[in-house]
Amino acid sequence: MSKPLRLLAQDSDDVPVISALVQDAVVRPSEVCLDQKHRRFVLLMNRFQWEEAATEPRRVRTALRIEGVMKAARKGWPAAADQDAVLELLAVTVTPGEDGAATLDLDFAGPAAVRLEVECVEIALEDLTDSWPARAKPVHKA
């Protein structure tokens, strides 16, 4: 069993590392939350452990927390009645803005996506549980 990950991205150069680690994570819409009062966006996910993929495919319960959210928008999001749908997170990308601000895009398989405007890049990734065997390793078609 690997040591739980706890990472902090604090600039645009750190975001690709976070993106690679959350690629193919599965997320339920009901486990995605925007806390407007504290300007925080949180996703709870079952993350595929790419760092362990060479041995046995495993998943781990993980939180992704994005701070300093000034504006959030989503498109192609499941209806309120379908909050148990399963979304597959494909990538987190960043577009730097002025004075440290940035736009973060979270792209899911299918039409779902979230765009966050943040005052600065501050993303925390934290594994919350022990990992468990995954049913299969995700396959990416060229």
| Annotated domain spans of the chain | 6-129
CA–CA distance, 78 with 87 (Å, rounded to integer): 9
Residue pLDDT, tens place only, 3-24: 899 999 999 999 999 999 999 9
Quote helix, strand, coil % in the chain, to nearest 5. 15, 45, 40
For the record, the structure tokens of 12 come out as 């645009």
Evaluate whether 28 touches 85 at the Cβ level (below 8 Å): yes
Q: What is the pLDDT of residue 51?
A: 87
Q: What is the pLDDT of residue 108?
A: 96
CA–CA distance, 12 with 8 (Å, rounded to integer): 12
CA–CA distance, 132 with 139 (Å, rounded to integer): 19
Of 46, 28, 22, nearest to 86 by C-alpha is 28
Residue pLDDT, tens place only, 50-104: 987 677 899 999 999 999 999 999 999 988 767 778 999 999 999 999 998 999 9
